């Protein structure tokens, strides 16, 4: 064997040019490692999903006669450390060249580039061939600009890749249909039965238990329901086009006690481990719409495509433009501890209870639950962004730092001082009530600011604005909120702040 090629757990791209030819001098390697299971406390379904997909990918390569060395977590040769495992294989097979695909995680990128400096054989890094953009493209696009606005980047992507364009104008006449993506779901369009895959993962569950890996969340069946192979990812995408796309945009921001996924695609895990590329998804959705979409409005399609070529590529570009400093930013100087109920769902606040229990049960919550329920509360309660990051990085099956960190620390917690969001995403109970039915059965009253039954979001909201005035007071997009605060009766504000302080002091009592 002459060349060793490393495949990380989120690099399961069977369409990569590496696999176009089968060179018998190449050995591929994949490792299940404690290094990866323990860097944060993960949801049990996240570990299950990664190992199941890695094993399926390794089997796919072996079935196609590629040379593969796969270390299961309990393999006797497994040192549980990436560098040590690589060193072993290089020595064992007298490897002359080491090759890897550029990691999307900064920590792994550092680890591998250090490793390559240290080894005395040749090494080479390759693109993962998964994204539309390369790591540095966004930084180059915004060079010299004061603000890195997603909308500018998104429009450029549309033009560059000729997506939803009519000549040099946006198809349908508008770049963005965000305003029609804000309907509350009241059961009027039935949600089709979800597509659950039945991947038997009992051996992996046993292994996790036997290895004493600390996990969060629930897994009480034998089968993992998210796609773990390319064929399943394609199947999920087909199902999305046929059943969900029609209402995706309309109910993108809606939340409901009876529904976990609504019209969302559940494709993030498959995409993030690269079973399917961003382009593959966009092309399939566009093709479906052009062929069968007579009754599908362009707003549904644009709403979905914006998430993929806009937000997803933008977040990745921001991560690579701003790391490693980004990981320590705390612009609002928040230092409180994350409430215990984030790990249990035990709270009387119905919105948080639902969003957290969904997350614990399924390793999933959609973007508005992440942003405007759990993220909103964490920001209003002025939680340390390190704690918030650790929770988000652990709890979701799709959580990888390159996408989790800019979404959490930037978009949701405004800890970057506005590099991603132009103002903090905070709201009182009224936004949650507008987009969901959570308030209908809540112990708290969405309209009240004061009193034992007043919705905690209401007092926390005004308290947050008041506390952060020296940092946010000059933000033009916050002007209206601050003028409302200024008009508030002074005694009322004192009482609101008292209630907010009691919530912040003991959030687990609420
Ligand atoms: C605080 C916070 C943390 C988040 N953490 C993650 C994370 O760790 N991993 C992750 O993949 N997404 C994250 N997101 C984005 C989004 O919530 C998830 O991608 C989405 O909920 C996944 O479900 P879905 O596949 O059904 O998405 P859909 O609603 O069907 O959207 C389609 C796809 O668009 C992409 N997408 C949508 N919104 C975003 C976004 N803001 N950033 C990047 N891609 C996006 C995803 O790939 C998603 O699969 C986070 C959002 C917030 C507000
Ligand atoms: S009343 Fe307040 S706490 Fe209760 S569900 Fe509504 S927003 Fe959440």
pLDDT range class, residue 1, cuts 50, 70, 90: confident
Best substitution site from 372, 431, 432 to test ligand 2's pocket, by max atoms within 8 Å of Cβ?
432
pLDDT at residue 335, as a whole number: 98
Q: Which residue spans within 91-163 are E strands per DSSP?
A: 97-101, 122-126
CA of 439 relative to ligand 2 center, distance in Å = 5
How far apart CA 318 and CA 324 sit, in angstroms, is 11
How far apart CA 180 and CA 73 sit, in angstroms, is 47
CA of 250 relative to ligand 2 center, distance in Å = 23
DSSP class of residue 454 equals B
Is the sign of the CA dihedral 431, 434, 440, 446 positive or negative? positive
Percent of the chain with pLDDT over 90: 95
How far apart CA 296 and CA 248 sit, in angstroms, is 10
Which atom of ligand 2 approaches the CA of 432 most closely? 7
Assess contact for 359 and 406: CB atoms under 8 A: no
More confident residue, 294 or 445: 445
Name all residues whose Cβ lies below 6 A of ligand 2.
349-351, 429, 432-433, 438-439, 442, 444, 446, 455-457
Helix (H, G, I), strand (E, B) or coil at 407: helix
Whose alpha carbon is nearest atom 3 of ligand 2? 349
Segment 334-338 shows an average pLDDT of 98
How far apart CA 468 and CA 481 sit, in angstroms, is 12
pLDDT at residue 178, as a whole number: 77
DSSP class of residue 445 equals B
pLDDT range class, residue 190, cuts 50, 70, 90: confident
Assess contact for 106 and 401: CB atoms under 8 A: yes
How far apart CA 31 and CA 10 sit, in angstroms, is 12
How far apart CA 178 and CA 250 sit, in angstroms, is 9
Best substitution site from 444, 448, 458, 499 to test ligand 2's pocket, by max atoms within 8 Å of Cβ?
444
pLDDT at residue 193, as a whole number: 87
Which atom of ligand 2 approaches the CA of 443 most closely? 4
Best substitution site from 150, 275, 367, 426 to test ligand 1's pocket, by max atoms within 8 Å of Cβ?
367
Could you give the angle at which helices 82-92 and 106-118 cross, rounded to 10 degrees?
Answer: 40
Q: What are 27-47's pLDDT values in tens digits?
A: 999 999 999 999 999 999 999
Percent of the chain with pLDDT over 70: 100
Q: Which residues have a Cβ under 8 Å from the Cβ of 62 and sit 6 or more positions away?
A: 68
Q: How many CB atoms lie within 10 A of CB 471?
A: 14
Best substitution site from 257, 351, 435 to test ligand 2's pocket, by max atoms within 8 Å of Cβ?
351
Q: Please compute Rg for the chain using Cα positions.
A: 24
pLDDT at residue 188, as a whole number: 85
Which atom of ligand 1 approaches the CA of 265 most closely? 30
Whose alpha carbon is nearest atom 9 of ligand 1? 399
Q: What are 419-440's pLDDT values in tens digits?
A: 999 999 999 999 999 999 999 9
CA of 191 relative to ligand 1 center, distance in Å = 20
pLDDT range class, residue 407, cuts 50, 70, 90: very high
Token reading at 292: 């069968």
Identify the CA nearest to 457 among candidates 345, 355, 380.
Answer: 380
Which atom of ligand 2 approaches the CA of 455 most closely? 2
Which atom of ligand 1 approaches the CA of 261 most closely? 26
Q: What are 454-500's pLDDT values in tens digits?
A: 999 999 999 999 999 999 999 999 999 999 999 999 999 999 999 99
Assess contact for 169 and 159: CB atoms under 8 A: no
The ligand whose atoms approach the alpha carbon of 431 most closely is: 2
Identify the CA nearest to 216 among candidates 338, 344, 365.
Answer: 344
CA of 172 relative to ligand 2 center, distance in Å = 38
Identify the CA nearest to 12 among candidates 231, 268, 272.
Answer: 272
Identify the CA nearest to 351 among candidates 225, 477, 438.
Answer: 438
CA of 14 relative to ligand 2 center, distance in Å = 45
Name all residues whose Cβ lies below 6 A of ligand 1.
264-268, 271-272, 307-308, 311-312, 315, 366-367, 370-371, 375, 392, 396, 398-399, 403-404, 407-408, 411-412
CA of 356 relative to ligand 2 center, distance in Å = 14
Q: How many CB atoms lie within 10 A of CB 56?
A: 18
CA of 218 relative to ligand 2 center, distance in Å = 25
Write phi, then psi, for 103 (nearest 5 degrees): -70, 150
Best substitution site from 438, 454, 500, 503 to test ligand 2's pocket, by max atoms within 8 Å of Cβ?
438
pLDDT at residue 200, as a whole number: 96
Q: What are 159-187's pLDDT values in tens digits?
A: 999 999 999 999 999 999 877 777 899 98
């Amino acid at each position: 064997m002459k060349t060793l090629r490393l495949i990380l757990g989120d690099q399961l791209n069977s369409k990569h040019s590496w696999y176009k030819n089968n060179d018998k001098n190449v050995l591929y390697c994949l490792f299940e490692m404690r290094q990866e299971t323990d860097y944060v406390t993960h949801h049990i379904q996240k570990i299950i999903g990664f190992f199941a997909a890695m094993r399926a990918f390794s089997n796919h390569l072996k079935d196609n006669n590629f040379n593969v060395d796969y270390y299961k977590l309990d393999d006797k040769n497994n040192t549980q450390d990436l560098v040590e495992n690589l060193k072993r294989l290089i020595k064992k097979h007298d490897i002359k060249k080491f090759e890897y695909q550029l990691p999307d995680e900064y920590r792994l990128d550092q680890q591998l580039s250090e490793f390559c400096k240290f080894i005395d054989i040749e090494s080479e890094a390759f693109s993962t061939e998964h994204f539309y953009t390369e790591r540095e493209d966004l930084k180059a696009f915004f060079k010299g600009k004061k603000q890195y606005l997603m909308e500018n980047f998104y429009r450029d992507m549309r033009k560059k890749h000729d997506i939803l364009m009519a000549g040099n104008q946006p198809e349908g006449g508008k770049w963005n249909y965000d305003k029609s993506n804000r309907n509350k779901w009241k059961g009027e369009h039935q949600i089709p039965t979800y597509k659950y895959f039945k991947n038997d993962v009992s051996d992996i569950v046993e292994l996790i238990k036997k290895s004493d890996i600390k996990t969060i969340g629930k897994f009480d069946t034998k089968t993992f329901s998210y796609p773990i192979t390319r064929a399943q990812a394609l199947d999920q995408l087909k199902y999305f086009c046929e059943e969900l796309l029609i209402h995706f945009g309309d109910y993108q921001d809606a939340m409901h006690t009876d529904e976990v996924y609504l019209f969302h695609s559940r494709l993030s895990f498959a995409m993030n481990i690269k079973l399917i590329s961003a382009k593959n998804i966009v092309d399939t959705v566009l093709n479906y719409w052009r062929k069968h979409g007579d009754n599908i409005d362009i707003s549904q399609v644009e709403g979905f495509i914006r998430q993929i070529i806009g937000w997803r590529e933008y977040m990745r570009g921001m991560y690579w433009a701003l790391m490693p400093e980004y990981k320590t930013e705390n612009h609002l100087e928040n230092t409180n501890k994350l409430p215990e109920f984030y790990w249990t769902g035990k709270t009387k606040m119905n919105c948080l209870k639902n969003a957290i229990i969904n997350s614990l049960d399924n390793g999933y919550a959609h973007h508005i639950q992440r942003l405007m329920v759990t993220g909103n509360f964490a920001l209003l309660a002025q939680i340390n962004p390190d704690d918030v990051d650790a929770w988000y990085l652990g709890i979701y099956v799709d959580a990888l730092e390159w996408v989790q960190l800019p979404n959490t620390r930037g978009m949701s917690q405004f800890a970057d001082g506005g590099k991603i969001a132009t103002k903090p995403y905070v709201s009182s109970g009224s936004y949650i009530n507008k987009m969901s039915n959570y308030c209908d059965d809540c112990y708290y009253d969405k309209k009240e600011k004061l009193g034992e039954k007043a919705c905690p979001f209401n007092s926390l909201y005004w308290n947050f604005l008041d506390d952060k005035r020296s940092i946010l007071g000059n933000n033009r997009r916050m002007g209206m909120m601050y003028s409302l605060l200024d008009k508030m009766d002074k005694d009322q504000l004192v009482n609101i702040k008292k209630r907010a302080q009691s919530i912040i002091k003991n959030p687990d009592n609420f």
